[in-house]
Structure 1
Amino acid sequence: MTHWDLLTASASAATAQPRRLDGWRLAYLVEGGPVDVFAVRELPDGRRSRRQFVARCPQFSAVPPPTLTGEWQLRAVPLPGAYLRELDAPAFPGWAAALAPALDRALQAMSGRTRPAHPPRDCEPLRPGALASGRSALCARRPLWLRAAGGFRVNGGDVVTAGRDAVLLAVGDWVRAEDDCVFALRTTEDVLRAGGLTDVVGGYLTRRAWAAVDEARADDERLLAALAERRRAHRSAIAATAHRALGELGLGSRTAPAGQNGGGLRDVLRAVTGWRR
């Protein structure tokens, strides 16, 4: 039997229904086509007010359990022809070796990094140990989890340090040492064997979800600002048009002539537009 056969034999029946991702499952297996993962904002009454795309997991991959809690939850939605299986606690020896390739396929697909520049020509293979300041190394064979002493850049981006959270490097990613760095590298199988499925792998998915949520909030703020500006311009245009019309009609001051009760339509227009002669 293949590794995938071992996994599916230990998993639940395949379903095309969306699944809420939680920490009760070891993983969620993807069959028959891709599955999209969304961050969904759930209101106290059970309604869903917002959905934000997080990642797409390909066929024969596995979705890790997230650590995300609160009003934003993660849901896996199979595309047409795709199915999900829920994998509980491992029921066979060697489950880490079987699950790691499936997780790596999903992690590679969801890495979502743009590479604005090609790796330097003198890029060396990424390996554990020291990397001198100014040197670069390429992740070439499979996704790796990086912790480092010292600052570095990923794909020419901002300077980062791994800190508490391991940094995922997908195949094709490269790092440049800004200080003399010492890299510690682990494969996904290493992470699983050490019990880091939720903390490390699921934590990465959670951080991807929070990044999508932050993007959604930024989009909302831009939309609200644009709507407010449109309303302001709309009111200004109406007021300017009405102001010109009142002036062309030769209407007098805001106060009505003696003997009139409120000035009728004139004062209504002046009150609405804020027009003063």
Structure 2
Amino acid sequence: MSELECPGLPASWLNAWLAAVGTTVLVPEMRLSWTDGPAPQALLTTSDGRDPVHALTSAWPSPERIAEMPIAEQLPGCEDIVPNLPLRSFRERAERFRGHDDSWSISSTYTDLHVDETQPGVVLAARSRFAPPAPGPVGPIHRRLTRVFGFVDEPFVQITATLEGGARRVNANGLGFDISRVTTLADDSDKSVDPVLEVLAFFGLSLLPIRGAGTRRTAQSRSAYLAARQRLWFLDSDDGRRHRLMWPAWSYSLGRNGIDALLDAWSPLNRGTWRRLGVHAGWRSVEYRWQGNDPTRGIGSEAL
């Protein structure tokens, strides 16, 4: 086996954690674990002995795969994907692409198991917090993905730089929730992201489906308890009405299916599950608090 420690993928940085998980989605032979210590970093290995960077480069998605994803903003014969997605549009895509290799791009972004009826005459599918609202030109999440994907023109070189922690950032909003792209109110610089990391993070979302309890949100019922739920969002023990994203670092070398099973079994409040699953660290989300009409979103972290 070939093992690679990745300083550019620290587990405490949500987008880097998602990107590390995303490597196991793109490369079936990839295995992921995390170093121990105060600042865990991703450890990538391949079960077939290939160098992880070469394996990722070989599996890097083609422009056609990105363009034809079920969540694509525009596809022949389908209604366009818009941020506030009508329920009929979601169901059309879900039915058409059932069984598609990238069908998760829909189920990790929207759900019909919780709907929004707060606007007169329209029923909206609930949207993931990983597809936050953005200004018009930025558009829905697939347009954001397509933009950052277009910046990756030398996959081997850029993947190497990302894993080593020396990637060149580009002027883009990315997927829209990376806290490191947010500038201060006193800074007029543009947002910037690592395009390789953003693409990998999008594939990492495949293990975080969004769902609900068959409830609906109306102008009269806005309770947080009725909202859609996404994997790894847990009820905050410090605030019984708010959910926060919580994620672990583990010592066992796991592929996509192993990680899938671990995320089902792990409970951030039950330390017994930590020991049994080899989890040695965990974090919970701290969300960027925007001011006024600022649409910026971002998810930071604090150690559990």
TM-score, normalised relative to structure 2: 0.29
- Look at both structures and tell me which one has the larger radius of gyration over its CA atoms: 1
Larger relative contact order (Cα-Cα within 8 Å, sequence gap ≥ 6): 2
TM-score, normalised relative to structure 1: 0.31
